[in-house]
Amino acid sequence: MTNKKDLDGALAWIDLTGKVAHVTGGAKGIGKGIATALAMAGARVMVSDINLEGAQAVAAEIGGAAMALDVTDRASCENAVKATVDRFGQLDVLINNAGVVQTGPVVDFSEEDWDSVFAVNTKGIFLMAKAAIPALSESDNAAIVNTASIAGKKGHANMSAYCGSKFAAVGITQSLAFELAPKAIRVNAICPGIVGTAMWLEH
């Protein structure tokens, strides 16, 4: 569970009062921590996840809203942005945090698992950004933050799919930063190390 006391100190200088954020993959792990931190900083938060019950539990904890989202589906992503704007009237921050991991040597790695990893970790960023850019363009202080990984900066054995997808996430982030700068939309990525979340412990 996120340590509120630790977050209080870390967020003392951040004020997101009046801002609206959408966090994908927010039902647990890093996504839950991000959603909690945003809410503590004053933002109104839409928590989305393919696991709706988990998203609802987080939303209940932080006083936000929740919805089901499949980041690999264009219509689902478009609906996620629309639902956020319908609920809160705007969108200022998009957190592309949804992610999956599959590991193993390439010779034994299935094509289905490869496609699944890239669909969530890479295509999901594309679809959510594409859906959100029009709404973000209406904000006077907009940002997109993509959850990449240290695995997106250095390759590792038996992690070709995951590393490849996270390298792609970094590249997409850098390209979008240049592309959206004229619209005053900041785009950044975070690159966490291995965190003891369910994604790693249960895969």
Per-residue pLDDT tens over the stretch 60-77: 999 999 999 999 999 999
The Cα 198–Cα 60 span in angstroms is 20
pLDDT 10s per residue in the chain (203 long)? 445 555 555 555 689 999 999 999 999 999 999 999 999 999 999 999 999 999 999 999 999 999 999 999 999 999 999 999 999 999 999 999 999 999 999 999 999 999 999 999 999 999 999 999 999 999 999 999 999 999 999 999 999 999 999 999 999 999 999 999 999 999 999 999 865 444 444 54
- Catalytic hit among 162, 169, 172, 189: 162
Tokens representing 169 are 């996430």
Let me know: does 37 contact 110? Beta carbons within 8 Å. Answer: no
Angstrom distance (rounded) from CA 99 to CA 29: 11
Token pair belonging to 151: 């695995």
Q: What percent of the chain has pLDDT over 70?
A: 89
The sign of the torsion formed by the CA atoms of 111, 113, 119, 122 equals negative
Question: Residues 129-162: pLDDT tens digits?
Answer: 999 999 999 999 999 999 999 999 999 999 999 9
66 is catalytic: no
